[in-house]
Structure 1
Amino acid sequence: MSKTVEFIFDVGSPTAYLAWTQLGAMCERTGAQLQLTPVLLGGIFKATGNNPPGAVPAKGMYMMRDLARYAQRYQVPLTMNPHFPVNTLLPMRVATAAIGTPEQDTVVGALYDAMWKAPCKLSEPEALSRVLTEAGLDAGHWLERAGDEGVKDTLKANTEAAVKRGVFGAPTLFVGNEMFFGQDRLDFVEEALA
């Protein structure tokens, strides 16, 4: 039986984007299954008293350099979003609606690309609609699903459950009950999956 790595994420996190770019290949190497769990990072910060790294100027400047280092190591594009921080409520509702559907990876990938490859203000429905359409998706369908009360409740429940499990930021990954925080811990995640 293969192991599962759970990826707790918000597309507004550049470190979660960097982890996302690596997880597919990691799962192929280890034979693991990837489980996506969308959350609202702002809700996690509020519930845990945590703050984004940019709230401490020196830490924010260091993080920017570190992000560039990892993007270079992973050989992936990373363009800081000029609208950052972006309110991710609507895109994360779209991501939540996509979980378990055949379009799941396409939706999540399109959202990450729109935040960190070809950045736009993803909080605006018009921009989100364009992003989904350009990814070959039915934007109207996904925006309608994002408004569903069940989807809203699921995203809220995911966020609350993550906090109860000790999550304080994104990305957070779980292999079984073992928690790993940050894209810079992917080597430990892969060891746990091996």
Structure 2
Amino acid sequence: MSKLEVFFDCSSPWTYLAITQVGGIARAHGAELIWRPILVGGIFNQINKEVYETRANPDHPKYRYMRKDLMNWADYRGVTINWPTIFPVNSVKAMRACIAAADIGKCETLALEVCDAYWGRNQDIAQDEVVAACAEAVGLDAAAILEKTNDPEIKQRLKNHTQEVMDRQGFGSPTMYVNETDMFFGQDRLVLVEEALKRAA
């Protein structure tokens, strides 16, 4: 069986676009799908500080085009993205919740709900009540999920995932690996991910 690992942070709109598709792609090709929640801000702080320079100059033609490109892709994917009031957002609690959900096979559904809360409904996913509402919306025990976000083991796993993707030459979200070594970055590379899974099969 082929393996597809997805390192992601729901605070990225490009990640939202990717995770609406990647599960279906993996299932269509019989690949094992492994979700790896990360903190993309931790990556930017260590190895990709140029992101902050771009954000600091929103009138730059490249930044303006990026926003247009995002909306074009959102339309193409049928995903609602409304630029949130709080950006960037502290996604630590939400990503810990996704790790807890992954342990019971519900990472994909929770991550999609968290992304929609932030990118679609302009909710602050740093808040306990928002994370709890997302968990409840997808049929999870909200109290249990929130409790898990304070679990030292969950906290450490989030740090470990973030370090792991950097150790494997990743530099942002979403970063995907087919069979551990074939890396792809960005939602616009999903067609190449699919081709890699076809070849692996």
TM-score (norm 1): 0.92
Q: 1:81, 1:140 → 2: CA distance? A: 26
C-alpha contact (below 8 Å) 1:19/1:183 kept by paired residues: yes
Q: 2:173, 2:83 → 1: CA distance? A: 17
Alpha-carbon offset, residue 25 of structure 1: 2.1
Q: Which residue of 2 aligns with 1:99?
A: 102
Q: Which residue of 1 aligns with 2:111?
A: 108
2:75 is the counterpart of 1:76: no
Counterpart among 136, 139, 153 of residue 136 in structure 1: 139
Alpha-carbon offset, residue 54 of structure 1: 2.7
Q: Which amino acid aligns with 2:65?
A: Y
Q: 2:21, 2:134 → 1: CA distance? A: 22
Instruction: Trace 1:28-177 onto structure 2 (pairs within 5 A).
Output: 28-52=27-51, 53-57=54-58, 58=60, 59-176=62-179, 177=181
Q: 1:21, 1:106 → 2: CA distance? A: 10
Q: 1:123, 1:157 → 2: CA distance? A: 20
Q: 2:56, 2:157 → 1: CA distance? A: 29
Q: 2:122, 2:2 → 1: CA distance? A: 34
- SS state of the match for residue 16, structure 1? helix
C-alpha contact (below 8 Å) 1:6/1:36 kept by paired residues: yes
Q: Which residue of 2 aligns with 1:184?
A: 188
Q: What is the Cα-based RMSD across aligned positions, in Å?
A: 1.6
Could you report, residue by residue, the CA deviation over 1:129-161 in whole angstroms, capped at 9, with x for unpaired residues? 233223332211111001000000110111111
Q: 2:48, 2:186 → 1: CA distance? A: 18
- SS state of the match for residue 160, structure 2? helix
Q: Which amino acid aligns with 1:179?
A: M
Q: 2:125, 2:63 → 1: CA distance? A: 22
C-alpha contact (below 8 Å) 2:19/2:108 kept by paired residues: no
Q: 2:103, 2:57 → 1: CA distance? A: 37
Alpha-carbon offset, residue 56 of structure 1: 4.3
Alpha-carbon offset, residue 14 of structure 1: 0.3
Task: Name whichever of 128-137 and 144-153 sits farther off.
Answer: 128-137
Structure 1 unaligned segments of length 5 or more: list them.
Answer: none
C-alpha contact (below 8 Å) 1:50/1:168 kept by paired residues: no
